[in-house]
Amino acid sequence: MSVPPCQVVPLLLLVLPSVALAQAGGLEAEPPVRQLELTQVAQPELWVAPGQSLLVLLDAPLDMEAMRRARAIEGLRRVEVAERSVTLLLSAGVKAGARLKYTLRFADGQPVEGVTLVLRVDSANAEPAVELYRGAIPAAARRQQVAASNAHVEPLLPQETNLLPLMAAGLLVPGGVRSLHVKDNVKVSAPGLACEDAWLHASTGRMALEVTLTLPPGAPPWVPGAVKLTEESHPGPLPVRSLKLLGGTALQPGTTTRLLVEWDTPLETQDLDYTLQVDEQNGRRGVRIRYLAPLEASPRAVPNKEKKP
């Protein structure tokens, strides 16, 4: 396999962090670009798909001559190198789960061994672009990413765009919605996935849980799978009205997002105590939240012990 000579990509793609990625249709905002600090992870793991390109944007100039002389990498159909970016295109036949390694060489020779990127073939989580920083991510770039993430937040229940259905169902009461801090009630299984914060929002007949989750750089993506809601006085699992991970279908490494879960509660009683379990899809990193009591009853904070019978 041969890699054609490097080509100059448009100047627009060489500027960090103001990246514009073209999209058919024009007006819809692009998903936020993942940002990683190279000081936080030795070998960044990036997600790619066969036949699709990945744009790697950098905050420091590359040694273009050294990268031009580098040997071809099996599985890469095309490599285009510019001063502060690399475009990588995978061959169509690369199998899922394969991990290709590609080394970046910087113009100042640091680090001497270069920076090795691990390209993980995963079509479901493939990303079109990634920003890599040798130093700290600038505040302006962080603000831009937050703004892009907020642009992709969808309503938990898009069909209820006004309050009339809630009023008709008797779900809006003078007391309104109460929000209770429940971070101490959250237990995360297996290393990597972490809970930054958690809130329980409750009104008459309705409860919603908001859990802020984070993944460190280099960890595999976390995709929510099976969800189980139980109540101590009820014999079996209860139905969940909605479950959503804001910003996409997977929590990517080096990022933070919110998990939202909503369910109905009986109107005739408030003496309830819920436990919610959200498992990882095809994995073992789960999130469990115990002692979720609606309205007047406050959740019990018992972070390090089991509930007594």
Reduce the secondary structure of the chain to three states and give it as a string. Answer: CCCCCCCCCCHHHHCCCCCCCCCCCCCCCCCCCEEEECCCCCCCEEEECCCCEEEEEECCCECHHHHHHCCCCCCEEEEEEECCEEEEEECCCCCCCCEEEEEECECCCCCCCCEEEEEEECHHHCCCEEEEECCCCCHHHHHHHHHHHHHCCCCCCCCCCCCHHHHHCCCCCCCCCEEEECHHHEEECCCCCEEEEEEEEEECCEEEEEEEEECCCCCCCECEEEEEEEECCCCCCECCCEEEECCCCCECCCCEEEEEEEEECCCCCCCCCEEEEEEECCCCCCEEEEEECCCCCCCCCCCCCCCCC
Q: What is the model's pLDDT at position 277?
A: 94
Residue of 120, 129, 44 whose CA lies nearest to 84: 129
What per-residue confidence (pLDDT) applies to 270?
60
Tell me what pLDDT residue 71 has. 80
Q: What is the pLDDT of residue 242?
A: 87
Q: What is the pLDDT along the chain (309 residues), one digit of tens a residue?
A: 444 433 333 322 233 433 333 333 333 344 567 788 887 777 888 888 888 888 999 888 999 888 888 888 888 888 888 888 899 888 888 888 888 999 999 999 988 899 999 898 888 778 888 888 887 777 655 555 544 444 443 433 344 445 555 555 555 555 567 788 899 999 998 778 999 999 998 877 788 899 999 998 888 889 898 899 998 888 888 999 888 888 778 898 888 899 999 888 876 566 788 999 999 987 889 999 998 886 544 445 444 444 443
